[in-house]
Structure 1
Amino acid sequence: MKTLFRNPTFCRLFFASVASQLGNVVGNMALAFYFVDRFSSQPALATTAELMYSLPTLAVFWLVGVAADRFDRQRIAAWSDWIRAGLTVLLLLFVLSDLFFLTFLTLFLRSAISKFFGPAEMGLLQSSIEPDQYVQASGLNQMVLGLFMLFGMSLGATAYQFIGIEGAILLDGISFIVSGLLIGWGKFDEKARVPNGAHRLRELRFPLIWQDFREGLRYIAGNRLLVIVISGFLFFGVVNGVFAVLPLFAMKYGLSPETYVVHSSLITVFLGIGVLAGSLLGPTLIRRFSRTRTLIAGLFLAGALIGGLGLAERVEVYFALMLIAGIAIAPINIALGSWIPELVPPQSMGRVNALIEPVLMLGQSMALGIIALAFPAWISVTWLHYGLAAITVGVSTFYLSTLPAMVRSREAVRAEA
């Protein structure tokens, strides 16, 4: 871990990511509280806002990977931040005017621009650290995620209570400016910025985009292990979609309707503590038991715990189960997050990563869409937990039946080579 922070390029990317996530979490959570508080009879508004964060991936995924592999990744990442900062000003105006259509449209556009950040930042990061540091970097990212889970909803609730929705959205915009400056003023090797050589924007025509998109598809299709790993991201999208609103809905419409703001914030605190603990434990488990075993066992345990959340009748029990679930979830994310860079070369990372994102967001959009349409008329909070538990156990069973044989086959081929 110390070696990573001795790398100034990694530090710059790391703190830029932290700055961007900080504002996103505070702004998004404050907006969710705003909708639930002011329009409590319309829970679909909060769900629709979350949907605007995931749907844009399905609109731009075919372009973002090509851009990250063809153009300057540093400029793409920096301008993604700065454009989102400008859109945040419009978001503030529309929210204060109760213009829901324009609010959701702006959220959609902001999210669409953000999709260009991920593949570009991942490409810069992959070329800035050594392959044996991928697990450490993934574990560190999970720790940051745990911190945001730990404090994110609490910060959102605090911001909403003390500086209002206006202050929370402004903080969101400032974070994008800081992140963009950290990346834009950084010095990155040319190989990291343009691994396939420099290209001009006017060269970006549809035949070239389609050609690069097909190459990404062909690369994934030609690597069966990569196909199996990526297929699981559909499940993680469903998990992200459900968990985006589950803590808030579980308290507001279930266990604690009178004090839902405090208790929903505490849920993310316990989940964040669990993720932090799991992030510290994850690399050790992967080294001792292998990535495959850690992934499958973590999924089985997480599925059982999520089912238990649906049975909980007391807030204290819900908190305890959420803590343990966080410990189980973190090693899963570390296993997958460190696997992708090992399977994909730097010159193809943008296109492959851009194809992973829509799979993830498809699952998230499906989950949020179902919740927006069916909750609370046809689906209760309890059945949200049961459904998610069933999906988790199903994915773990799928991985159990496919991954071990695939990994053994890959290791045998590498040993012969």
Structure 2
Amino acid sequence: MQRYLSLFRNRNFLLHWLAGATSNIGDFFNSLAVVKLLSQDPAHLGLYTSLIMASKMVPALVLGPLAGSVADRLPRKAVMVAADLVRAALVLGLVFAGHPAAVIGLVFAAAVAAAFFQPANSALLPSLVEQEQLVTAGSLNVMTQRLAMLLGNGLGAAVLMLVGPQGIFAINAATYLASALLLSGLRLPVAAPAGAAAQPGGTSPLARLAADLRETAAVVRASPQLRHLLIGLGIANLGDSGTNVLFVTFFTVTLGVATEQLGFVWAAFGGAAMLGSLAIGAVGHRVHWRHLFSFACVYFWFTATGAMLASSLIPSTAFLTLMGLGSGAINVGLQVAVAELVPDHIRGRVFGTWNTVSALIMVSGNLVAGVLADRVGPAVTMMGFALAYLAAGIYGHFNLRPREEAAAAEARAS
């Protein structure tokens, strides 16, 4: 607990954390309101829901590298505040949107702003806390996201009944304004990030983006650990990409769980994720990020496979709850690893490029999971996807060792 108290005494981190918590709760409120608004046309709800999901994912897929460059070339606080103000205006526009096309368009535009917010947010965190506090800070942020999920879906449903979709949109706009106000209070160096002026002023934006991508690739090539980490994350993301679709299908179709009961299942997962994040924050600093990553991947394989093999509501829910306990470990490991391996002036580009790769894997994996679930069943498909977790854990164990340790292992083997 002392580690968390020391974080909250850090004014910059406290403002950053409060801003994230406020806007995250508003986001989950918003998701319910959008579904409620579009459900007024039930005949096309499936199509509208698919378009909403695509609208939220496509901007990160397309704009990741550009957003990362912006996060490295402009003051990150300014990028985040501007993105929050834009999102506030767009979400407020949903109050007056009557046609589904307008709703989908505004959701897409808000996702574009979010695509610029996320790399700046991820790259900023290491500059707000000490290196040894990163695990605790990252874990607290993951726990807050899980809490926002529970509050947003639980409390949000009650608020939606009271004020309707338009009232929810107004509340969500207010949360973005509050987030922008909190972030504007951060006290950071006023100088532009290192490397921001490296390119000549007359260079075209496209040429600067190409140069940024080349620099990012050079950093990845020069750091074997970073390269192996990103490969391992990509493999793990493949396993994660089908999880939501397959678990929902498994519980509802294979186990015959009603939608209302499924809410309790996900609530157990979310509650366990909160507790797990607190535990990782309290003791995770004692574990190197490469061990955290490898163990978490193998742990996810074990719990996901166990849930499928149990094939019964209570034991399968128990395995899913256990899975929730470790759900923040990979994200925390990524944050700490990037802070250790990547220079500050290029972190935004690394996170932005990774967001693009991650979105591509998630979109592709979702589609494949849906097709295979219908053909061979959700349980078999989930166990196949879970093998990607195991492969990522094994890959990380053997490849994420420092050079000197790997060289010593090779010498012993020879």
TM-score range (shorter-chain normalised) is 0.7 to 0.9
Aligned residue for 2:96?
A: 93
**Counterpart mapping for 1:331-346 below 5 A:** 331-346=329-344
Quote the offset at 1:206 in angstroms: 1.8
- Could you tell me which amino acid in structure 2 is paired with residue 224 of structure 1? P
Aligned residue for 1:71?
A: 74
Quote the offset at 1:178 in angstroms: 1.0
Q: Given the superposition, is the C-alpha separation of residues 16 and 212 from structure 1 closer, same or farther in structure 2, using an over 3 Å criterion?
A: same
Does residue 364 of the first structure (1) align with residue 362 of the second (2)? yes
Q: Given the superposition, is the C-alpha separation of residues 271 and 227 from structure 1 closer, same or farther in structure 2, using an over 3 Å criterion?
A: same
1:182-219 deviation digits (Å, cap 9, x = unpaired) = 1124332225x634457999876221222122111221
The one of 61, 65, 76 equivalent to 1:62 is 65
Quote the offset at 1:357 in angstroms: 0.9
The question of whether the paired residues in 1 share the 8 Å contact of 2:23 and 2:179 is answered with: yes
Quote the offset at 1:12 in angstroms: 1.0
The question of whether the paired residues in 1 share the 8 Å contact of 2:139 and 2:277 is answered with: yes
Identical positions, percent: 20
Quote the offset at 1:408 in angstroms: 3.8
The question of whether the paired residues in 2 share the 8 Å contact of 1:154 and 1:265 is answered with: no
Aligned residue for 2:168?
A: 168
- Could you tell me which amino acid in structure 2 is paired with residue 190 of structure 1? V
Does residue 397 of the first structure (1) align with residue 391 of the second (2)? yes
The question of whether the paired residues in 1 share the 8 Å contact of 2:294 and 2:394 is answered with: yes
Q: Given the superposition, is the C-alpha separation of residues 185 and 398 from structure 1 closer, same or farther in structure 2, using an over 3 Å criterion?
A: closer
Q: Given the superposition, is the C-alpha separation of residues 31 and 272 from structure 1 closer, same or farther in structure 2, using an over 3 Å criterion?
A: same
Quote the offset at 1:100 in angstroms: 3.2
CA distance in 1, matches of 2:406, 2:247: 45
3-state secondary structure, aligned to 2:400 = helix
Q: Given the superposition, is the C-alpha separation of residues 330 and 37 from structure 1 closer, same or farther in structure 2, using an over 3 Å criterion?
A: farther
CA distance in 2, matches of 1:362, 1:209: 20
CA distance in 2, matches of 1:301, 1:382: 25
Aligned residue for 1:26?
A: 29
Higher deviation after alignment, 305-314 or 75-84: 305-314
TM-score normalized by structure 2? 0.84
The one of 293, 297, 300 equivalent to 2:298 is 300
Quote the offset at 1:313 in angstroms: 5.7
**Counterpart mapping for 1:130-279 below 5 A:** 130-191=130-191, 194-196=193-195, 205-235=205-235, 237-238=237-238, 242=242, 260=259, 262-279=260-277
Q: Given the superposition, is the C-alpha separation of residues 47 and 69 from structure 1 closer, same or farther in structure 2, using an over 3 Å criterion?
A: same
CA distance in 2, matches of 1:103, 1:145: 25
Higher deviation after alignment, 305-314 or 319-328: 305-314
Number of equivalenced pairs: 404
Q: Given the superposition, is the C-alpha separation of residues 289 and 136 from structure 1 closer, same or farther in structure 2, using an over 3 Å criterion?
A: closer
The question of whether the paired residues in 2 share the 8 Å contact of 1:153 and 1:265 is answered with: no
CA distance in 2, matches of 1:271, 1:250: 15
Higher deviation after alignment, 277-286 or 222-231: 277-286
Quote the offset at 1:181 in angstroms: 1.4
The question of whether the paired residues in 2 share the 8 Å contact of 1:151 and 1:268 is answered with: no
1:332-391 deviation digits (Å, cap 9, x = unpaired) = 3322332221111111111111111111111222234456xx56xx73499445434423
CA distance in 1, matches of 2:161, 2:379: 29
Q: Given the superposition, is the C-alpha separation of residues 162 and 305 from structure 1 closer, same or farther in structure 2, using an over 3 Å criterion?
A: farther
Higher deviation after alignment, 353-362 or 168-177: 168-177
The question of whether the paired residues in 1 share the 8 Å contact of 2:301 and 2:389 is answered with: no
Higher deviation after alignment, 215-224 or 302-311: 302-311
Which residues of structure 1 form unaligned runs of 5+? none
Q: Given the superposition, is the C-alpha separation of residues 188 and 293 from structure 1 closer, same or farther in structure 2, using an over 3 Å criterion?
A: closer
3-state secondary structure, aligned to 2:273 = helix
CA distance in 1, matches of 2:255, 2:160: 22
CA distance in 2, matches of 1:75, 1:166: 29
CA distance in 1, matches of 2:24, 2:59: 18
CA distance in 2, matches of 1:173, 1:346: 31
TM-score normalized by structure 1? 0.83
Which residues of structure 2 form unaligned runs of 5+? 408-414
Q: Given the superposition, is the C-alpha separation of residues 138 and 40 from structure 1 closer, same or farther in structure 2, using an over 3 Å criterion?
A: farther
- Could you tell me which amino acid in structure 2 is paired with residue 25 of structure 1? F
Higher deviation after alignment, 7-16 or 220-229: 220-229
CA distance in 1, matches of 2:323, 2:31: 23
The question of whether the paired residues in 2 share the 8 Å contact of 1:74 and 1:184 is answered with: yes
Q: Given the superposition, is the C-alpha separation of residues 227 and 321 from structure 1 closer, same or farther in structure 2, using an over 3 Å criterion?
A: same
The question of whether the paired residues in 1 share the 8 Å contact of 2:142 and 2:328 is answered with: yes
Q: Given the superposition, is the C-alpha separation of residues 250 and 384 from structure 1 closer, same or farther in structure 2, using an over 3 Å criterion?
A: closer
CA RMSD in angstroms, aligned pairs only: 3.4
Q: Given the superposition, is the C-alpha separation of residues 42 and 251 from structure 1 closer, same or farther in structure 2, using an over 3 Å criterion?
A: farther
CA distance in 2, matches of 1:38, 1:280: 42
The one of 75, 79, 86 equivalent to 1:83 is 86
Q: Given the superposition, is the C-alpha separation of residues 40 and 164 from structure 1 closer, same or farther in structure 2, using an over 3 Å criterion?
A: farther
CA distance in 1, matches of 2:262, 2:201: 46
- Could you tell me which amino acid in structure 2 is paired with residue 396 of structure 1? L
